[in-house]
Structure 1
Amino acid sequence: MQLSARDLMTEDVETVSPDDDVSDVLGRLARADFNGFPVVDEDDHVVGIVTQHDLVGLFETKDRTLWIPIGLPPFMETVTYAVDISWDDFDLGVDLVKNMDKPIKKVMTPDVVTVEPDADLDAILDLLADDERDINRLPVIEDGRLVGVVARQDVIRAIRDRRLAGN
């Protein structure tokens, strides 16, 4: 029996709204066990995806990144992206404050690769191993709505489990 997205997907998906602030999403991402969220509208239609890469890119200066505070001063949490910022980059603080209030729709990737629940394992593997895109999570869409997510680790676990079961 060929595995499908429905067999592999996680149904309880954490999502964000297009209007959520960057600071809120960074805080949630700092506590998550994964590296991105599907962005869904009020009808659960996927309108984008936002990843660590999208968010950290907002706070990079040249080849360095910085500690990104979460919330308002005094900052009680940080996202742990190590940094070395010199006083020459002091104006970065202004960019930091400006970007923290930005809505996710301004930084998300709107061109989302998705699958339907009956997509087979081979199609999923082709998408996750694509040389052009670095895809870790595939939203599963049924009747235009998000019903789950297939993560790269879900596929790896399923292949391992089948191997161990002798199939």
Structure 2
Amino acid sequence: MTIIAADIMSSPVITVRPNTTVGEVARLMSKHRISAVVVVDSADRILGIISEADVLKPYRESILARRAWWLDLIAEGEEMPKDFLEYLRQDRHVAADVMVSDVVTADHRMTIPQLAELAVQKGVRRLPVVKDGKLVGIVSRHDLIRAIAGSRDALS
């Protein structure tokens, strides 16, 4: 019996909407111990994906330094109200700001060799699984390794 994506995928998938804050995305990833979330619309069509690296982007030291430089430029040596400065310092990024929108997906009927080829060829760590254009699951590289290790049928 051939093992397909639908047999090994994780489902349901933890998803977010485009307007979900990056802070909430981070909380979901931490709570569910996952390394990515899929961004979907109200019909569960995939809009993007956010990995741990994408969440970290707005918080990098170089980005924070650039933000401080802009604040100094705007102030032009004038003292600005503390509440206004705090407002400007707050991160207001949402999922749509940090997501990768060119998502590599897998069909629910793809076999282990097809999934492995796609993941390696495209250099991705996880493949959202679709059926009739809608998100139904996700397959990670770990899922593929586990399937290969646990079954003689994985490679057929």
Structure 1 length-normalised TM: 0.72
1:116 to 107, 110, 132: 107
* Matched letter for residue 11 of structure 2: E
Partner of 1:155: 144
**CA-atom RMSD, angstroms?**
3.0
Name the CA distance, whole Å, in 2 between partners of 1:140 and 1:90: 38
Matched ranges for 1:120-159 at <5 A: 120-130=111-121, 133=123, 135-159=124-148
State the shift of 1:144 in Å.
Answer: 1.1
State the shift of 1:128 in Å.
Answer: 2.1
Q: Which structure has the larger Rg over C-alpha atoms?
A: 2
Q: Is the Cα–Cα contact under 8 Å of residues 4 and 120 in structure 1 kept in the other structure?
A: yes
Name the CA distance, whole Å, in 1 between partners of 2:68 and 2:25: 23
State the shift of 1:118 in Å.
Answer: 0.7
State the shift of 1:60 in Å.
Answer: 1.0
Name the CA distance, whole Å, in 2 between partners of 1:156 and 1:26: 26
Select the structure that is richer in helix. Answer: 2
Name the CA distance, whole Å, in 1 between partners of 2:61 and 2:87: 10
State the shift of 1:125 in Å.
Answer: 0.4
Aligned residues: 140
Name the CA distance, whole Å, in 2 between partners of 1:157 and 1:52: 22
State the shift of 1:33 in Å.
Answer: 1.7
Percent identity between matched residues is: 31
Unaligned runs of 5+ residues in structure 1 are 67-87
1-10 vs 140-149, greater mean Cα deviation? 1-10
Structure 2 length-normalised TM: 0.77
